Amino acid sequence: MKIILIGLMGAGKTTIGKELSMELGFRLVDMDMEIEKEANMSIVDIFEKYGEAEFRKKELNLLKKLIKEDNIIISTGGGIIKEKTNCELLKNQKHVIFLDGNVNTLLRNVSNGINERPLLKNTKDLKIKLQNLLNERYDKYKECAKIQIDINGKNIDEVVSQILVYIR
Ligand code: S3P
């Protein structure tokens, strides 16, 4: 089985992925961390030195590779749905889960990770930025996912339980 978590920055993809990985005993791959490891460079540096397009290429190549694996939880980066090919790959998978949070939930969760996120770094109004990204991407998350989980007002355990019920 393969579980793929998608959603905007601050939706809790990494944290929920860790919990799922412990519950199910599957390997967790956090795509951002894997890209950083492979490039031996932070995401911020990759964006600054090579640009977003290069990052998206790395993201696509990694997804292509990971999608062949089994018994894995894949925690994607928030922009995974920007590439059409990624969307096609995701649509062919059984357990793609969209962690759906409103802007207040996302804002609360990203607050202490702004400097590690190139798209939020140096942003004057974080709430507006997140709202714009959500507006731009919302339909794509829905389109690529098999199930959408409302994360607003829920703690991690509640979201994880919901996912476990869904996959079992
Ligand atoms: C991005 C989200 C980030 C990371 C990169 C770009 C995006 O991942 O991949 O900064 O375009 O939304 P998280 O969603 O894990 O923060």
Q: How many CB atoms lie within 10 A of CB 168?
A: 6
What is the Å distance from ligand 1's center to 10 Cα? 9
pLDDT digits (tens, 9 = 90+) for 36-63: 999 999 999 999 999 999 999 999 999 9
Helices (H) and strands (E) in the chain, counts: 8, 5
> Which parts of the chain have pLDDT scores under 70?
none
pLDDT of residue 6: 98
Is the separation of the CB atoms in 64 and 86 below 8 Å? Answer: no
What is the Å distance from ligand 1's center to 163 Cα? 22
- Which atom of ligand 1 is found nearest the CA of 14? 15
SS3 content of the chain, % helix, strand, coil (to 5): 60, 15, 25
Cβ of 77 less than 6 Å from ligand 1: yes
SS3 148: strand
pLDDT digits (tens, 9 = 90+) for 7-23: 999 999 999 999 999 99
Cβ of 118 less than 6 Å from ligand 1: yes
pLDDT of residue 153: 97
